[in-house]
Structure 1
Amino acid sequence: MPMPKPGVLFPPEALYGLKAGFDQLANLLALTLGPTGGAIATDFKANREVERFTDAATAARRILEVPGRAQNVGAMLVRNLVWRVHEDVGDGAATAAVLAQALLDEGLRVAVAGANPMIMREGIGRGLKAALQALKEMAVPVTDEEELSGLALAVTGEPRLSLVLGEMFDVLGPEAHIIIEEYMAPYVEREYFEGSHWKAELASPYLVTHPPTRRCIVQNPLVVVYDDFLTEWEEVEPLLRLLDSAEDERDLLIAAKKVAGQALAAFVVNHQAGRLRVAAVQFSSQIDRKRRDLFHDLALQTGATVLGPDMGRPLRTIAWGDMGRAARAEADKEKLVVVAGQGDRAAIQKHLEGLRRRLEQTEDEEERETLRERIARLSGGVAILKVGDASRVGQADLRQKAEKAVKALALAAREGTVPGGGVAFLNCIDAVRSVDAQGDAAVGVRILARALEAPFRRIVQNAGVHASAVVLHEARRRGPAFGYDALRGEVVDMRAAGILDAAGVCRRVLEMGTSAAMMALTIAAIVLHRKPEKSMQP
């Protein structure tokens, strides 16, 4: 059966349908904005159990389609926007939807009156640059743990979790890598590592030196990194003879793709005989590309040389200069922790700069997460955040809040904070209005300036105050530091009240929300692929 030909919607039907779907989802997600925002419930699960969300991105993720083909295009634009914001910065998904909707409202209103959307887009782009510069200039560096905890509380609404997260980022700094673990009990705790944390496995329980924790702990170890399988006695004999010839006894940390067979037996025999304390760890669960990166980082951090057939350096060629050093290493069945590696600090810093440039340039979320982990390891900021609840639903909710806050706090620690509650966007308006533009480009500048009021107005409305214009006027009258405290129901100095947003979150919300609105505004037609009566493929 031939596939039916697609249909095409042209203006004004295309834009009207798209706008209706855009509004449908944006209006729903806007309900969650602010500390007094509402929750969204869905019966998505197969067992018809009701799910409850206060997070806009997760709620949007549950919506797979809305009625009407053109309307669905608009709704999916919003869905894609809020999920990208969630993945990128954790917080700000609802704000992005509200901002994009306001900009699209203003844009369509003037477009219907005759303005050219493509020229308006140019003006919006100029205004965006001015707004981003204003955000950068108003950002204030984070100074203490209390400020970080306040920001975490604004993101999560969980006092205990917020205090712990504030402490963790205060201790570890902006490059902190925080691993979140779940527990089936009401529980929030943290565990710090004064070094780097690697996903690896102790090769044998017979190497354990600390039975209560089932860990192998080595002090001031020599470090050998071998990128291949290590199974034969002949492969490790030269290393053992070299170590036996040393004047002083040293512990050994050896990392390989896999340690087994006669090679592992040799390490176990020497370890249990007390001749050589060995922590033999394997990275067998890592895919090849990631494992090579991990080995490179471990070698750089400890001053070791990566050996292996691919490098033309089998283990039998090892010399003293190929071994790295560290103050301490611990390994168990899940992880390796290396403390105070003795690698060249200048070389590590140069490598870190390259990784940060790659992080800025890539848009692939999996690669971004991998790069963040590598940066954190080499920067020495690693900790485990343990969160739990008595129910599975509560456990998942707490983990989700923690993940959002971790991303937002990392941005705050790097780029500083701005007044929260939509006030940062209000403070960008004068900079946008000062942009020099003519004709329809000037129209684009003006509609962006008006749209920047939307997040503030929505937070006020969600607090049950319908005269948002009055509250806005009073806040502006009292100065740029003032906004609306939705919990107390009054206009306050936002920074003094501890109501803050991460500058980096606001930046990405503004960039991505504006981009989504401009995309919708400049769509001239929608192609609707008709669904065949019967599927020709399974």
Structure 2
Amino acid sequence: MTNGQGGQPIFILSEDTERRKGRDAQESNIQAARVIGDSVRTTLGPRGMDKMLVDSLGDVVITNDGATILDEMDIEHPAAKIVSEVAETQEEEVGDGTTTAVVLASELLEKAQELLDQGIHPTLIASGFSTAAAKAQEYLVDMAQEITIEDEELLRQVATTAMTGKKVEADVEMLSDLAVKAVKQVVEETEDGYSVDRDDIGIEKQEGEGVGDSFMVEGLIIDKDRVHPNMPKKIEDAKIALINTAMEIKETETDSEIRVSDPDELQKFIDQEEREFKEMVEKVKDTGANAVICQKGIDDMAQHFLAKEGIFAIRRAKKSDMEKLARATGGSIVTSIDDLTSEDLGKAGLVEERKIAGEEMTFIEKCENPKAVSILVRGGTEHIVEEAERSLEDAISVVAKSIESGKIVAGGGAPEIELAMKLSNYADTIGGKEALAVRAFADAVESLPRALAGNAGLDPIDTIVDLRSKHEEDGAAFGIDAYDGKVKNMTEEGVIEPLPIKTQAVSSGSEAAVMTLRIDDVIAAREEETPSPEEMGGGGPGGTPGGM
């Protein structure tokens, strides 16, 4: 609402609209961001705690994965959503470090609040944060060490670091091996280095046994069983036809009706249909195929003839599985059985239906140089299996990022302390009010090892003092060993992370903080409430409906 000429009020917004302006809007947004940061801060590091999330249907998720926690939370505040999107970006880009990115964004806004209270303009603070973030990227690149695809031991350490502190810690070495093997199998060399498509590594999960019983197959695991009980359960030296059309008789495009007056004519129709299915299966058999994976349906009659010919078949396979199968077996997906040739067939040493924890699954393995692989994750309970799957996905992502970027940094809060010290020194060189914002950025970065120490049950102040003294002595790789509380060389301890985790966290965390900081007016329309039947003019139960 604004005043018009002669003091006459002019209404420009609905009276139901909620509006916050200036400091009130900024404080509300910063407070919301801090709540999001506080909700995941205690999960940071190997000694971080777990969160139990219960949805409206009563389904329970227990995890300490930042992206999963924020994804499961029902967040309504718009500024809180901006900060939670940081976790989403971090997860999509690098697959780990989500908690780090969210806590950094939250801390930056908390430091910004202190500067606002001192009367510093939000634009100056935003400018200082952007300057500090750009400088932080340079410092992080300078800190990084080289890693190659041949450094298997280092890659295993990267995977182990990503999974430490999760529920799977007892089997972390075995899972690290699986992650490194899987990534090395699907990696592709490009002009610029290496590229890994994480979709080429399929993860299937099944309750039963322990996490240590998880395994990888050089091929694919499909959560489907053969379509006919008379088909062989096991095919060795398999030649696989990948078909994405239905093995059914095509219906006419227009509605039609056929009247049959003689039983012999009906029999002719049935015989004709049978011949068509027989020819369809003969075409598949003539190519040399002894296994069929169909993306669509397979008619009962076609199933019968396939079984008679000793051909293993699966129907209604997922499109993503079909694409992975093509990459794993070297076959081609065909859209018409008439076009199927022996060159289109994929090859696998073994196709077998196995019962895992009471569920039939099909294993397509022993493929020659497959460019898609599958890992079957096991675990004693549903929650353990799901957390093991999340941990393995993190491990696969960080191994892939390490190979693609070729750069790693120490973990355990080492790069954050080094970064905080360098940014503080940089702030001294620029002067003015912007220097206060750069120093605030340094303090926000330092709060990450502080949280790491607090979660490990250590005294944060003493730990930070120890870390600073080591880093001043040129010990840039020194960080916190959360298990014995000592400050150690993280590279020697095998606690290492891919460089993109840190650079992406700084980038997305600072951008979210700057975006939130620049908002000085929040105009929110109230949600429309669904009217009750009475309000809509409906009668009560058993009554006559009213007028609308």
TM-score (norm 1): 0.72
**How much has 1:100 moved relative to structure 2?**
1.2
1:227 to 244, 251, 254: 244
**How much has 1:446 moved relative to structure 2?**
4.4
Question: Which range moves more in the overlay, 515-524 or 170-179?
Answer: 170-179
Percent identical pairs in the alignment equals 18
1:261 to 286, 289, 300: 300
CA distance in 2, matches of 1:220, 1:30: 51
Alignment match, 2:441: 448
Q: Is the 8 A contact 1:44 1:62 kept in 2?
A: yes
Q: Is the 8 A contact 1:202 1:331 kept in 2?
A: no
Alignment match, 1:419: 410
* Equivalent residue runs for 1:4-403 within 5 Å: 4-39=15-50, 54-60=64-70, 63-64=73-74, 72-82=77-87, 85=90, 89-113=94-118, 115-118=120-123, 120-137=125-142, 138-141=144-147, 142-144=151-153, 147-148=157-158, 150-156=160-166, 158-174=168-184, 175=186, 177-184=201-208, 186-198=210-222, 201-208=225-232, 215-219=233-237, 221=239, 223-231=240-248, 233-234=275-276, 237=279, 240=282, 250=288, 252-256=290-294, 257-271=296-310, 278-282=311-315, 284-286=316-318, 291=319, 295=322, 298-299=325-326, 302=329, 304-308=331-335, 314-316=336-338, 318-320=340-342, 322-332=343-353, 334-335=361-362, 337=364, 339-340=366-367, 379-389=371-381, 396-403=386-393
Unaligned runs of 5+ residues in structure 1 are: 67-71, 209-214, 272-277, 309-313, 343-377
Does residue 1:461 correspond to 2:454, yes or no?
yes
Alignment match, 2:520: 524
**How much has 1:83 moved relative to structure 2?**
5.3
Question: Which range moves more in the overlay, 423-432 or 380-389?
Answer: 423-432
Q: Is the 8 A contact 2:414 2:479 kept in 1?
A: yes
State the secondary structure of the residue aligned to 2:458. coil
Q: Is the 8 A contact 2:41 2:103 kept in 1?
A: yes
Closer/same/farther in 2, CA of residues 442 and 198 from structure 1, 3 Å limit: farther
**How much has 1:207 moved relative to structure 2?**
1.4
**How much has 1:99 moved relative to structure 2?**
1.1
CA distance in 2, matches of 1:397, 1:296: 27
Alignment match, 1:352: none
**How much has 1:285 moved relative to structure 2?**
4.9
**How much has 1:82 moved relative to structure 2?**
3.8
Closer/same/farther in 2, CA of residues 294 and 506 from structure 1, 3 Å limit: same
Larger radius of gyration: 2
CA distance in 2, matches of 1:242, 1:18: 63
Alignment match, 1:482: 478
State the secondary structure of the residue aligned to 2:152. coil
State the secondary structure of the residue aligned to 1:147. helix
Partner amino acid, structure 1, of 2:418: N
State the secondary structure of the residue aligned to 1:427. helix
- The one-character-per-residue Cα deviations of 1:86-134 (angstroms, maximum 9, x if unpaired) are 5665543332232112222333433454544345545534543443344
- The one-character-per-residue Cα deviations of 1:219-239 (angstroms, maximum 9, x if unpaired) are 152x43332111364366277
**How much has 1:456 moved relative to structure 2?**
1.4
CA distance in 2, matches of 1:13, 1:243: 74
TM-score (norm 2): 0.71
Q: Is the 8 A contact 2:226 2:313 kept in 1?
A: yes
Closer/same/farther in 2, CA of residues 507 and 22 from structure 1, 3 Å limit: same
State the secondary structure of the residue aligned to 1:228. coil
Alignment match, 2:531: 536
CA distance in 2, matches of 1:327, 1:285: 17
Q: Is the 8 A contact 1:195 1:339 kept in 2?
A: yes
**How much has 1:466 moved relative to structure 2?**
3.8
State the secondary structure of the residue aligned to 1:171. helix
**How much has 1:17 moved relative to structure 2?**
2.0
CA distance in 2, matches of 1:434, 1:236: 78
